[in-house]
Amino acid sequence: MSLIVQKYGGTSVGTPERIINVARKIIETRDAGNQVIAVVSAMAGVTNRLIELAEQVTGEDKYPTEREMDVLLATGEQTTIALTAMALNALGAKAVSLTGAQAGIETDGVHTKARISNISPAGVHALLDEGNIVILAGFQGKTVDGKITTLGRGGSDLTAIAMAAAVDADLCQIFTDVDGVYTCDPRVVPEAKKIEEISYDELLEMASSGTKVMQSRSVEFAKKFGVRFEVRSSLNNNPGTLVREETMSMESVVIRGVSLERAQAKVTIAGVRDLPGTAGKIFGAVAAANILVDMIVQNVSKTGITDISFTVHKDDVTKAEAALRPVLSELGEGVTLEAQDGIAKLSVVGIGMRSHSGVAAEMFKALSGAGINIEMISTSEIKITVTVAEDQIDEAAKVTHAAFGLAE
Amino acid sequence: MSLIVQKYGGTSVGTPERIINVARKIIETRDAGNQVIAVVSAMAGVTNRLIELAEQVTGEDKYPTEREMDVLLATGEQTTIALTAMALNALGAKAVSLTGAQAGIETDGVHTKARISNISPAGVHALLDEGNIVILAGFQGKTVDGKITTLGRGGSDLTAIAMAAAVDADLCQIFTDVDGVYTCDPRVVPEAKKIEEISYDELLEMASSGTKVMQSRSVEFAKKFGVRFEVRSSLNNNPGTLVREETMSMESVVIRGVSLERAQAKVTIAGVRDLPGTAGKIFGAVAAANILVDMIVQNVSKTGITDISFTVHKDDVTKAEAALRPVLSELGEGVTLEAQDGIAKLSVVGIGMRSHSGVAAEMFKALSGAGINIEMISTSEIKITVTVAEDQIDEAAKVTHAAFGLAE
């Protein structure tokens, strides 16, 4: 008998009917001879309604206490676990619900974005051994002294993966509204294929470059504890994508997938003297304004004068300019600031590129062959990212996808 | 510094605006130099919506698992505690929320109608000593092994009174939508007056005879642990009614109040032989049909043949007849069953009647003086109840109220 952890997101449990469907899926899994722990999120829309209530009692000019926000938001998942367990029981299965606290999920005390510090799975094991299906509230835990905490964005995935690690599950299935991870966004590249297996690092790089399947922290957690998980659809029975530690055979594929991210802007600070502390000043100012910087490119020239460029989301570009203006004078005379939106990022990701040379060249050749100009280039060990004009991103994705034979 | 436990019901916290009002009332209490524990119910309507969801996931022909019903319903109060604590914090007060489990409210394992078995108030005391207002979820607790339980109807009142006992509070205030306990229903007897002080026993007898201020179990709990509590309105600052152990001075008042209950029916089984087991057969059959019987009157005649009458709510009368038909033949030949609705109950309650004779006579005189016929009579140590025709109940209440000088 295998032990499987499943996770169903807010859309999958968004209505009573959908909860019944999820219950049926869980029963199918059990009937195939498995023990099942199912992690569920709050019903779609519930969390937003709770946040609205919080804003109404606190007033617009104030923030709700984070401790109480966690108490409030935790009711969302608690509602779903009860309803899912009821649905299972009504269908003749034996199921019990557990809140994060009841399941022994201990976290630090950082409310609204707590980190899991420990899981005591004895209670869960006991319930499974008694023949129960365990329905576990995602997204939540408790501190050592019993305060309710929530794990922040993507918290339910994290609950599933952490619990899978704690109980030493044979498999963790993340049910979502997509079929798995694709070689590229099928809306852009219709011939994109579902990836059967992908390594943690590849998924992390794809996630950070625009492929929004899961939050990176859940993948990082899975990597750290070696939890294999499958991303698959709750709407059909198709096999999904298995995410796991890398294998030798994975390296034979040079590029696993192509990610794209639109609505980017590029900020360039030109004429900067290449002195220690310059980059610190620039990115310190940007970080202080709570702006997420993505690619950073610097080309040191022989003259000791350099340009520093970085990308931000286009909605942040005005804020970034405002944050940097006061810093310019500190950087010396003749320093200029230029911002430009209407750009997009294209990345190719694959652990195979470690052992294959010429990947960058092949990508650049494909793009230039399509008449697409490359603006910035940045590379990591298993990823190459370029920026192009936003109106060329779809074409760029298509030719790159084709160049690496990803549809075959 | 006094320690005050307050309880606010679902209507008082029914909207974000009302929650803010409750927060203001709590701050007023604190500013008067008190430590405050406020017990809150689920926002009005929330519990019904949750029950509806439960019915939708289980289907009409099945009952939701009671264990899971408790997990579900407990979210209602958990939502309110978080919102109330947020509102207090936004108003500049220092408040923390506690679920029943977090507050150390331990119950037995009878889901949906658990009984409180123990309260460990150390955590609550620690929070109060740190200068916090404690917002406590009513209606809920946990078992020794951590299961979530709910206390059933009137559970939030019970939480308040039990917590007041556990922390040895100086006062417990039950805020509700009425101003307190009245000598009679003011809609029937406009000159009815608010009662300043009433004993537990009197309130219990009034509650059981139609004065619906609180569930009896909460009053019984308060009596058992000697918790003084005040029933007062959350809509104004008028003093309410203090409920407490009886005092000598209370006895100087013969009658504390007049209760009335409409929509009653009388069921009479006539021609019964007065043999052991007869009443058992009759009321066994009625109880098996889940019908609540109220007054029971039997007059043993010298011939050994007797009539047994009892009252039920008029909605139950058909069910009662159906339950009794099969029993009639067992009771011997000539036994008849007769049911009659359109009757109402009138009760006078007062610990003073223990030491005053002639109370019954005075009541009967007042009623007969108004031309009102009495059908059934039943008495307890501190209560006299009669049934009259329902269309005469208002007049009966008025003349009785006047006869005992309750408006003075």
Least confident segment among A148-152, A328-332, A380-384, A392-396: A328-332
Which stretches within A241-355 are classed as H helix?
278-288, 317-328
Is the per-residue pLDDT at A276 higher than 90? Answer: no
Determine the residue among A19, A65, A77, A91 to mutate to test chain B binding: the one whose Cβ has the most chain B Cβ atoms within 10 Å. A65
Determine the residue among A75, A80, A120 to mutate to test chain B binding: the one whose Cβ has the most chain B Cβ atoms within 10 Å. A75
- Write the pLDDT tens digit of every residue in A165-177: 999 999 999 998 8
Evaluate whether B360 touches B384 at the Cβ level (below 8 Å): yes
Which residue of chain B is at minimal alpha-carbon distance from A143? B102
Evaluate whether A171 touches A380 at the Cβ level (below 8 Å): no
pLDDT at B69: 97
In this complex, the residue of A16, A68, A85 whose CB is nearest that of residue B82 is A68
Evaluate whether B401 touches B346 at the Cβ level (below 8 Å): no
How many CA atoms lie less than 13 Å away from B104 in the CB half-sphere? 15
Evaluate whether A5 touches A164 at the Cβ level (below 8 Å): yes
pLDDT at A164: 97
Structure tokens at A239: 């096999």
The secondary structure element, H or E, covering residue A105 is: strand A105-107
The secondary structure element, H or E, covering residue B263 is: strand B257-273
Task: Tell me the residues of A at the B interface, defined by beta carbons under 8 Å apart.
Answer: 16-17, 19-20, 23, 50, 53-54, 56-59, 62, 64-65, 67-69, 71-72, 74-75, 78-79, 81-87, 89-90, 96-97, 99, 102, 123, 146-148
Angle (nearest 5°) at CA B257 between B210 and B171:
90
pLDDT at B302: 67
CA distance B72 to A80: 8
* Residue ranges in chain B modelled with pLDDT below 70: 300-302
| Contact (CB<8Å) B90/A58 | yes
Chain B residues with CB-CB distance to A123 below 8 A: 146
Helices B200-208 and B216-225 pack at an angle, to 10 degrees, of 170
> Hey, what domains does chain B have and what are their CATH numbers?
2-177 (3.40.1160.10)
Least confident segment among A22-26, A377-381, B135-139, B147-151: A377-381
Evaluate whether B370 touches B157 at the Cβ level (below 8 Å): no
Determine the residue among A68, A102, A139 to mutate to test chain B binding: the one whose Cβ has the most chain B Cβ atoms within 10 Å. A68
| Contact (CB<8Å) A78/B74 | yes
Q: 3-state DSSP call for residue A120?
A: coil
Task: Tell me the residues of B at the A interface, defined by beta carbons under 8 Å apart.
Answer: 16-17, 19-20, 23, 50, 53-54, 56-59, 62, 64-65, 67-69, 71-72, 74-75, 78-79, 81-87, 89-90, 96-97, 99, 102, 123, 146-148
In this complex, the residue of A56, A83, A97 whose CB is nearest that of residue B54 is A83
Which residue of chain B is at minimal alpha-carbon distance from A24? B57
- Write the pLDDT tens digit of every residue in B150-179: 999 889 999 999 999 999 999 999 999 889
pLDDT at B235: 85
| Contact (CB<8Å) B56/A16 | yes
Q: Strand (E) positions, B293-401?
A: 296-299, 305-313, 336-349, 377-380, 383-389
Chain B residues with CB-CB distance to A146 below 8 A: 102, 123
| Contact (CB<8Å) A75/B79 | yes
Is the per-residue pLDDT at A213 higher than 90? Answer: no
Least confident segment among A72-86, A136-150, A352-366: A352-366
Q: What is the average per-residue pLDDT within A21-40?
A: 97
Instruction: Supply the mean pLDDT for chain A.
Output: 93
Q: How confident is the model at residue A343 (pLDDT cuts 50, 70, 90)?
A: very high
Q: How far apart are the first and last CA of chain B?
A: 36
pLDDT at B275: 79
Q: How confident is the model at residue A103 (pLDDT cuts 50, 70, 90)?
A: very high
How far apart, in Å, are the Cα atoms of A183 and each of A118, A395, A400? 35, 15, 11
| Contact (CB<8Å) A57/B19 | yes
Chain B residues with CB-CB distance to A68 below 8 A: 81-83, 85-86, 89, 96-97
Residue burial A212-249, b: 16+ Cβ < 10 Å; e: rest: ebbbebbbbbbbeeebbbbbbbbeeeeebbbbbebeee
How far apart, in Å, are the Cα atoms of A114 and each of A111, A139, A144, B89, B197? 6, 9, 12, 21, 50
Is the per-residue pLDDT at A302 higher than 70? Answer: no
Evaluate whether B13 touches B80 at the Cβ level (below 8 Å): yes
pLDDT at B70: 98
In this complex, the residue of B57, B69, B78 whose CB is nearest that of residue A20 is B57
pLDDT at A215: 87
Q: How confident is the model at residue A49 (pLDDT cuts 50, 70, 90)?
A: very high
Q: How confident is the model at residue A393 (pLDDT cuts 50, 70, 90)?
A: very high
Which stretches within A2-154 are classed as H helix?
16-31, 46-58, 66-90, 122-129
Q: Which residues contact A97 (CB under 8 A, 6 or more apart)?
A: A78, A81, A82, A84, A85, A134, A135, A136, A137, B67, B68, B71
Model's pTM, two decimal places? 0.87
Which residue of chain B is at minimal alpha-carbon distance from A91? B58
